[in-house]
Amino acid sequence: MERKIKYSFTLPALILIGIIVAFPITYNLFMSMNSWFVASGKGAEWVGLKNYINLITDLRFWNSLKVTFLFSFGALVAEIVIGTSLALFLNREFKGKSIVKLIFLFPIAATPVAVSLIWGMMYNYDLGIINIILESLGLDPLLWLASPKMVIPALIITDTWQWTPLILLIVLANLESLPTDPFESAKVDGANILQVIWHITLPLVKPAIVVAAMIRSIDAIKTFDMIYVMTQGGPDIASENLNLYIFQTGFSYFRMGAASSLAIVLFTIVLVFNVFLAIIRNSGDK
Amino acid sequence: MKKLKQFAFYISVILICLIPVFVFLWMFMTGLKTQADNLSIPPKIIFTPTLNNFRDVFGQGNFLKYLVNSAIVATFSVIIALLFGLPAAYGIAKYKMKKIGLALLVARMVPFISYLIPWFIVFRSLRLIDSYLALITTHLIITLPFVIWIMVNFFEGIPSSLEEAARVDGCTVFQAFTKILLPVVRNGIFTAAVLSFIFSWNQFLFSLILSGNETMTVPVAVFQFISYEEINWGGLSAAASVITIPPLIMTVFIQKYMIKGLTSGAVKG
């Protein structure tokens, strides 16, 4: 009886999840071992691991891996460093603190397509506000999204703008919940502020930073909306990350088997990175 | 000296806050400017605002219809997620079924495109591309696990004595759930509903492939604007403002729980 009740709560959701989530994952795995060019009119054909083997010599795949890595790594580091620093700075009582927190929630909630659209305009060579500011400071305007060299830094800046607040607010919430005793005794011991931050505060908030990094990395490695709206992977393929390459393979070239195998690779990267972060998080708990 | 320090602190806080605020301000300002004002260098800080761009956005094409589409898809994918997710979250919290939570976290790491390809093939063969069913089904992939995570967190915060008291008073497990426990976690339900709504509202990839003229949602519509209206910054910004305003307003109502909601699921596991 107890068992029956136990599952009557979860079973409906589990069945629905089985249909909408587990089915496509399984199908995706199966498709990754098929060759299926949708437009050919023929059905899928079993090819085993051929799609995966083909990737080894696929230069566009390696380029997309490089873009994925550069973009995610750059964005993650910038967001963690800036977010944590700002959280440390804002970790005190002051008037208007709740308004400041609310302001930092806005970028997180804003529609990525809209944010990317606005940043695309701000990066415009002739009329964009960013080049206008650079020129007013006596600097040369930059090509930003139109330059193969600057496009990834530009995308990182936009991502950092949108997602640093998430890291900031997670770390700040954690800081506010810390007991004050270790800080008081450190002050008595004559430690200066940087010593306190480095030796006491940061180790205490490390788990929160790792959790924030996990949440952020899952989405950063899989970024699609922002890059697709701002550059569509361009110029040429300079900003085409793995997720965009999968999209093009599947929905521009209609090679569903190849796209599925790429998707499995992307999933594996996200999973491995998160297992790695989980190990870091648990390493301090001994 | 202390006063001066405080003053410096407030100035820095304001400068920090200007970074997020500036981009939104820029978006609204560009939407409120005429084309001539938008093309002038240096940019005009003082200008006569006009609502023409907003009028054009709603006047041309089917923008209003796309807004309604977005609202329909988001509303249904939230309601269905709550109907299935609330009992599931309660069951997971009560019976400590931790593995389900972990499985949902791993499912979140799966790229959306892994879900999209199979569902695209299925809906294409059923001739259901450009249907609400296709959009709501795929948006549920995001909203349902999310509702479960948040609510597991909130249900775990309830002392078990509360439910036991209800059972002693003669409630069945199900009555205790609906009459006693759900009202206690209403903040959680509200947060889960609003955040899921925002996720669905902002969703781009599923809608890009699975919607069409009839069911197009606003992020896709705005994206398509970009290719037509390359230099009509006023119109583009007005459209961007219109899609961004609802999530921003909703944020105000869930500000207290939003970060807790966004981090649940990853905190454990």
Find all residues with CB under 8 Å of A259, minimum gap 6, and list them: A246, A247, A249, A250, A251, B113, B117
Count of CB pairs separated by less than 8 Å, A with B: 242
- What confidence score (pLDDT) does residue A2 get? 66
Question: Are residues B111 and A218, on separate chains, in Cβ contact within 8 Å?
Answer: no
Instruction: Share the mean pLDDT of chain A.
Output: 89
Most B-contacting residue of A5, A6, A9, A167 (CB-CB within 10 A), to test interface:
A9
Chain A residue numbers with beta carbons less than 8 Å from the beta carbon of B95 are: 6, 10
Closest partner CB to A161 (pick from B23, B104, B269): B23
- What confidence score (pLDDT) does residue B142 get? 93
Closest partner CB to A20 (pick from B87, B141, B198): B141
CB atoms within 10 A of CB B175: 14
CB B43 within 8 A of CB B233: no
Q: Does domain B51-263 have CATH number 1.10.3720.10?
A: yes
Give the integer Cα–Cα distance in Å for B82 and A38.
Answer: 36
Distance from CA of B166 to the nearest CA of A (A): 16
Given a cut of 80, whether residue A285 has pLDDT beyond it is no
Q: What pairing do the DSSP bridges indicate for beta strands A34-35 and A45-46? A: antiparallel
Query: In this predicted model, what pLDDT tens digit does every residue of A273-282 receive, in sequence order?
Result: 988 888 887 7
Given a cut of 80, whether residue B173 has pLDDT beyond it is yes
What is the end-to-end Cα distance of chain A in Å, rounded? 40
Where do the domains of chain B lie?
Answer: 1-50, 51-263
Query: In this predicted model, what pLDDT tens digit does every residue of B183-212 receive, in sequence order?
Result: 999 999 999 999 999 999 999 999 999 999
Distance from CA of A255 to the nearest CA of B (A): 10
Peptide linkage before B42 cis (omega within 30 of 0)? yes
Question: Are residues B247 and A110, on separate chains, in Cβ contact within 8 Å?
Answer: yes
Peptide linkage before A235 cis (omega within 30 of 0)? yes
Question: Are residues B117 and A28, on separate chains, in Cβ contact within 8 Å?
Answer: yes
Closest partner CB to B247 (pick from A109, A136, A228): A109
Least confident of A89-103, A255-269, B15-29, B152-166: B152-166
Given a cut of 50, whether residue B269 has pLDDT beyond it is no
pLDDT > 70: what percent of chain A?
A: 97
Q: Which of A173-182, B48-57, B186-195 has the highest mean pLDDT?
A: B186-195
Which of the four pLDDT bands, split at 50, 70 and 90, describes residue B245?
Answer: very high
Q: Which ipTM was obtained for this model?
A: 0.92
Name the residue of chain A whose CA is nearest to B110's CA.
A267
Best CA proximity match to A82, nearest among A102, A104, A98: A104
Query: In this predicted model, what pLDDT tens digit does every residue of B111-167 receive, in sequence order?
Result: 999 999 999 999 998 999 999 999 999 999 999 999 999 999 899 888 888 888 888
Given a cut of 90, whether residue B96 has pLDDT beyond it is no
Question: Are residues B114 and A31, on separate chains, in Cβ contact within 8 Å?
Answer: no
Chain B residue numbers with beta carbons less than 8 Å from the beta carbon of A170 are: 259, 262-263
Tokens coding A18: 């089985």
- What confidence score (pLDDT) does residue A191 get? 76
Question: Are residues A218 and B39, on separate chains, in Cβ contact within 8 Å?
Answer: no
| B123 backbone φψ class: left, alpha, beta (φ>0; ψ -120 to 50) | alpha
Chain B residue numbers with beta carbons less than 8 Å from the beta carbon of A6 are: 91, 94-95
Query: In this predicted model, what pLDDT tens digit does every residue of A257-269 receive, in sequence order?
Result: 999 999 999 999 9
Residue A161, amino acid: W
What is the end-to-end Cα distance of chain B in Å, rounded? 49
CB atoms within 10 A of CB B64: 12
Distance from CA of B29 to the nearest CA of A (A): 11
Name the residue of chain A whose CA is nearest to B221's CA.
A113
| A80 backbone φψ class: left, alpha, beta (φ>0; ψ -120 to 50) | alpha
- What confidence score (pLDDT) does residue B238 get? 92
Segment B242-247 mean pLDDT: 95
Question: Are residues A113 and B259, on separate chains, in Cβ contact within 8 Å?
Answer: no
Q: Which domains does chain A have, with CATH numbers?
A: 50-283 (1.10.3720.10)
Question: Are residues A170 and B263, on separate chains, in Cβ contact within 8 Å?
Answer: yes
Segment A205-228 mean pLDDT: 91
CB A282 within 8 A of CB A201: no
Chain A residue numbers with beta carbons less than 8 Å from the beta carbon of B44 are: none
Given a cut of 90, whether residue B55 has pLDDT beyond it is no
Q: Name the 3-class secondary structure at A37.
A: strand
Distance from CA of A199 to the nearest CA of B (A): 24
Distance from CA of A267 to the nearest CA of B (A): 5
Give the integer Cα–Cα distance in Å for A92 and B179.
Answer: 41
- What confidence score (pLDDT) does residue A286 get? 42
Whether the CA torsion A260, A263, A268, A271 is positive or negative: it is: negative
What DSSP designation does A146 have? G
**By CB neighbour count within 10 A (0-12 exposed, 13-18 middle, 19+ buried), where does A156 fall?**
buried
